[in-house]
């Protein structure tokens, strides 16, 4: 089954974690608004973003003004906005969520970081490369470049655990965790091989298990209670490849928290 780019659905799981699963990544915009309405997050939330692509761009600045005209409780208009206005390549939703005030800063682990939004600021020994912009109210938003692999987050030189480097990111993350105001956002296409010819397929079983059993991935899940997951099967090599990643993140990463998202997700989105 080919991916439905107009699918605005998401599935919500509320157990030891609050998990939103959507087919298309831009629908995370709706998930985060729902989390804000339900007071799972407080606004100006730290976004911990794991993706093949950075997804940090704004194709049309008019979208900022258009979303201002939509009340945060008007679900139908919000869905129409995401469906009809946001770019089908899922490049707008993070910047727009920052302009709306749902997301404050973001820390991105992504393998492709070209053409990002805002002004680049180079990092030093205790700071991190980042992009910055001010929204219409003058609030500064920072998009930290956290490297290309989840496995680099903890350990002696880990982004979140090194006692000498990246102190700016560590403070931002610790403050967000302390105030319970952080979202873990995962696009399954981050866990795919990419060929020079444009084809892609899921990491093999051993590779996936190494990631989802890693100290880094467990560190994130231990500290973050609100999670959004984008399936994006067309970016994973198709439904079968997407299912293999979903099965591993479910059985290896989430099972320790007594969470099962696999069966309901597959049925909902006909994977």
Q: Facing residues of 131 across strands?
A: 120, 143
Mean pLDDT score, 76-84: 97
Instruction: Provide, rounded to the nearest whole percent, the portion of the chain with pLDDT above 90.
Output: 91
pLDDT at 140: 98
Per the prediction, the chain carries an average pLDDT of: 95
Confidence of residue 161 (pLDDT cuts 50, 70, 90): very high
Instruction: Give per-residue burial for 20-44: e unless 16+ CB within 10 Å, then b.
Output: bbbbbbbbbbbbbbbbbeeebbeee
Mean pLDDT score, 170-181: 97
C-alpha distances (whole Å) from 74 to each of 6, 32, 67, 90 are 19, 14, 11, 22
Lowest mean pLDDT among 89-98, 191-200, 252-261: 191-200
pLDDT digits (tens, 9 = 90+) for 194-233: 887 777 899 999 999 999 999 999 999 999 999 999 999 9
pLDDT at 1: 37
pLDDT at 163: 85
Q: Which residues contact 102 (CB under 8 A, 6 or more apart)?
A: 32, 33, 36, 41, 43, 44, 45
H or E stretch covering 21 = strand 18-22
With 50 as the cut, is the pLDDT of residue 2 above it? no
Mean pLDDT score, 172-181: 98
Q: Tell me the C-alpha distance between 59 and 108, whole Å.
A: 19
Phi/psi for 194 (5° steps) reads -120, 130
pLDDT digits (tens, 9 = 90+) for 26-58: 999 999 999 999 999 999 999 999 999 999 999
């Amino acid at each position: 089954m080919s991916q439905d780019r107009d699918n605005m659905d998401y599935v919500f799981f509320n157990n030891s974690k609050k998990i939103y699963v959507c087919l298309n990544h831009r629908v995370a915009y709706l998930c985060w608004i729902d989390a804000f309405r339900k007071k799972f997050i407080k606004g100006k939330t730290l976004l911990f973003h794991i993706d093949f692509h950075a997804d940090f761009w704004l194709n049309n600045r008019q979208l900022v003004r258009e979303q201002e005209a939509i009340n945060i409780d008007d679900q139908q208009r919000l869905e129409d906005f995401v469906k009809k206005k946001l770019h089908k390549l899922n490049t707008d939703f993070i910047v727009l969520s920052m302009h709306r005030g749902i997301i404050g800063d973001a820390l991105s682990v992504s393998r492709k970081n070209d053409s990002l939004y805002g002004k680049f600021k180079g990092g030093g020994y205790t700071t991190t490369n980042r992009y910055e912009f001010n929204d219409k109210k003058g609030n500064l938003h920072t998009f930290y470049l956290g490297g290309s692999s989840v496995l680099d987050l903890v350990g002696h030189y880990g982004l979140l655990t090194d006692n000498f480097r990246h102190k700016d990111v560590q403070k931002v993350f610790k403050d967000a965790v302390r105030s319970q105001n952080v979202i873990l956002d995962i696009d399954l296409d981050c866990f795919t091989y990419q060929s020079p010819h444009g084809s892609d397929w899921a990491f093999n079983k051993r590779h996936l298990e190494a990631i989802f059993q890693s100290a880094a991935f467990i560190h994130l899940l231990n500290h973050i209670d609100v999670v959004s997951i984008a399936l994006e099967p067309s970016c994973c090599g198709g439904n079968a490849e997407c299912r293999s990643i979903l099965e591993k993140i479910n059985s290896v990463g989430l099972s320790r928290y007594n969470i099962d998202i696999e069966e309901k997700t597959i049925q909902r989105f006909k994977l």
